[in-house]
């Protein structure tokens, strides 16, 4: 079946460090891919998305490129801030299905 695998957390970085959170997927077909972010005690917010191969989603300094050849959608940011501390979820959606398939989430901790 379809699935999403994220790197385990927590990921701990110093402010201004470079961030990568890995996400790989398994899907029969061509899914749309998403990154959502959850700040402490809150609901999730859509961070960025990509709907086809080689698309790059970007928002708030974060980027992710839809790589069909490696079935990946890694999240990157060039210089993280303390305010980026949150849990990040990778997800996929097939056209034929109403549901999102979620990764387990990766907790990011940024130290000043």
Partner 1 sequence: DGGITQSPKYLFRKEGQNVTLSCEQNLNHDAMYWYRQDPGQGLRLIYYSQIVNDFQKGDIAEGYSVSREKKESFPLTVTSAQKNPTAFYLCASSIQGAGEQYFGPGTRLTVT
Binding-site ranges for partner 1 (CB under 8 A): 32, 34, 41-46, 49, 89, 91, 93, 95, 98-100, 102-105, 107
Q: Which residues are within 8 A (CB) of 11 and not within 5 positions of it... i.e. 6 or more apart? A: 19, 21, 106, 107, 108, 109
Candidates 82, 110, 112; CA nearest to 13 is 110
Candidates 6, 38, 36; CA nearest to 21 is 6
Min. distance of Cβ 34 from partner 1 in angstroms? 6
Closer of 3 and 14 to partner 1 (Cβ): 3
Closer of 33 and 110 to partner 1 (Cβ): 33
Closer of 96 and 112 to partner 1 (Cβ): 96
């Amino acid at each position: 079946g379809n699935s999403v695998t994220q790197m385990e957390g927590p990921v701990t970085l110093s402010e201004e460090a470079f961030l990568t959170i890995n996400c790989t997927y398994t899907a029969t077909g061509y899914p749309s891919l998403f990154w959502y972010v959850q700040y402490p005690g809150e609901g999730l917010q859509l961070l960025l998305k990509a709907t086809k191969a080689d698309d790059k989603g970007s928002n708030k300094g974060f980027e992710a490129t839809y790589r069909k050849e490696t079935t990946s959608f890694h999240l990157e940011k060039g210089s993280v801030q303390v305010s980026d501390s949150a849990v990040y979820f990778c997800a996929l959606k097939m056209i034929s299905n109403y549901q999102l398939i979620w990764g387990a989430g990766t907790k990011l901790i940024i130290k000043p």
